[in-house]
Amino acid sequence: MCTSHHTMTAEDLAELAARFAGTLPSQNELTASIFETPLPVPEGQVPPAYEPERYALAGEESGEGTRRRSEQGQDGRRRNLAFPPAPVPLPYAIVDNHTHMDLLDGEVAVTARDALDTGEALGIGAIVQVGCDVPSSLYAVRVAHADARVLAAIALHPNEAPKLEEAGQLDAALNVIEKLAQDERVRAIGETGLDYFRTGEEGVEAQQRSFREHIRIAKTYGKALQIHDRDAHEDVVRILKEEGAPETVIFHCYSGDPDLAEICNVEGWYMSFAGTVTFKNSQGIQESLKLARRDLILAETDAPFLTPHPFRGRPNASYMTNYTVRFMAQYLDADLEELCRDIRANSLDAYGSWGVEGF
């Protein structure tokens, strides 16, 4: 394995960004706050950055990123687009190791800076921003350079791979991912993996080829591998073993049953729990949490998706990791602060240091 610690030059990034002009915010926008001075985040109230009236009043220009999420739910009905209220801050700050700040949702389009400030006020001190295609991977790298609380994960999502293959663009896109992988702020290749839920039979070959290439890139540059696994546990484990798994493997939004948890425990693969662990019908995930080695537990939002109970269906943001970790501590009958300490330590083991105090 060869580990590269070189950083992409500003010119490299600028050249790539120029190709995707119009989909990416500027460096200044990534560090901008809508508020002149940071506002407190009162418990039980919607954080100021997520409160439509205050955020809109604070400045007209807001929001950034590559896409906006639908205002309708899967049942076709309009979703409740209000962001949930602020929980009590965590006693010890942790990492949200999988989030998509570029995917806008809800009634307000919050800047990266305001999202990070809100998270920090509630006990989420650092994040991993995750890419799903070339523009969002570029966004991840740029925001990781703009704010030290952010590290980047970059990849082509398994649901993107078949579309790219069909358009004859999969190899070109993989080349961009490999180029970006050399950046020092990129610490994971992901989210990659397999998704047999949203992509049918016809997409399996492209997904598997893309997954194998991402494993190779992670190993070549000494990066962690963040896996998206939906209804594909067996094939994900088989391909990981066939290719030889990278040193650090993370099952993002862990969705397995106790069998997969046992495999992760034996292999030393991280299990990252998202809002899904709080859902009433998630027994397999909850039992896995109970079985998981404490040194392999991570936490995430996958925001703006998978908002934890009791706010399911509403927009999600990094500050909501707080609710998920509270549920986990309660479910494990564990001390909340101790669990937070473990999650932060595990995050640093998996990704290395962010370079901000405590992380």
Distance in Å, CB of 300 to Zn ion, minimum:
8
In degrees and rounded to multiples of 5, residue 238 shows phi and psi of -60, -45
Q: How crowded is residue 314: how many other Cβ atoms within 10 Å of its Cβ?
A: 18
Q: What letters, b where the CB count within 10 A reaches 16 and e where it falls short, cover 202-229?
A: ebbebbbbbbebbbbbbbbbbbbbbbbb
Radius of gyration (Cα) for the chain, nearest Å?
A: 19
Q: Which residues in 263-322 contact Zn ion (CB under 5 A)? A: 302
Q: How crowded is residue 49: how many other Cβ atoms within 10 Å of its Cβ?
A: 29
Q: Is 107 helix (H, G, I), strand (E, B) or coil?
A: coil
**Which residue, 223 or 228, is less far from Zn ion as judged by CB?**
228
Distance in Å, CB of 253 to Zn ion, minimum:
5
Distance in Å, CB of 12 to Zn ion, minimum:
25
Distance in Å, CB of 153 to Zn ion, minimum:
9
Name the segment binding Zn ion (CB under 5 A); options: 51-59, 203-211, 220-228, 350-358. 220-228
Report d(CA 317, CA 311) in Å as an integer. Answer: 12
**Which residue, 48 or 256, is less far from Zn ion as judged by CB?**
256
Distance in Å, CB of 264 to Zn ion, minimum:
17
Report d(CA 166, CA 358) in Å as an integer. Answer: 45
Answer for the pair 155, 215: CB distance below 8 angstroms, yes or no. no
**Which residue, 35 or 305, is less far from Zn ion as judged by CB?**
305
**Which residue, 46 or 141, is less far from Zn ion as judged by CB?**
141
Among 185, 219, 228, 344, binds Zn ion (CB under 5 A): 228
Name the segment binding Zn ion (CB under 5 A); options: 19-27, 209-217, 225-233, 347-355. 225-233
Residue the block writes with tokens 């965590």? 90
Size of the site for Zn ion (CB under 5 A): 3
Distance of CA 19 to the CA centre of its chain: 24
Q: How crowded is residue 90: how many other Cβ atoms within 10 Å of its Cβ?
A: 23
Answer for the pair 297, 334: CB distance below 8 angstroms, yes or no. no
Distance in Å, CB of 221 to Zn ion, minimum:
21
Among 191, 213, 229, 342, binds Zn ion (CB under 5 A): 191
353 pairs with which residues across the strands? none
**Which residue, 39 or 94, is less far from Zn ion as judged by CB?**
94
Q: Does residue 133 bind Zn ion (CB under 5 A)?
A: no
Distance in Å, CB of 301 to Zn ion, minimum:
9
Distance of CA 55 to the CA centre of its chain: 24
Name the segment binding Zn ion (CB under 5 A); options: 60-68, 159-167, 186-194, 242-250. 186-194
Distance in Å, CB of 67 to Zn ion, minimum:
13
Report d(CA 105, CA 83) in Å as an integer. Answer: 9
Look up residue 34 and give its DSSP letter. Answer: S
**Which residue, 214 or 228, is less far from Zn ion as judged by CB?**
228
Residues near Zn ion (CB under 5 A) are 191, 228, 302
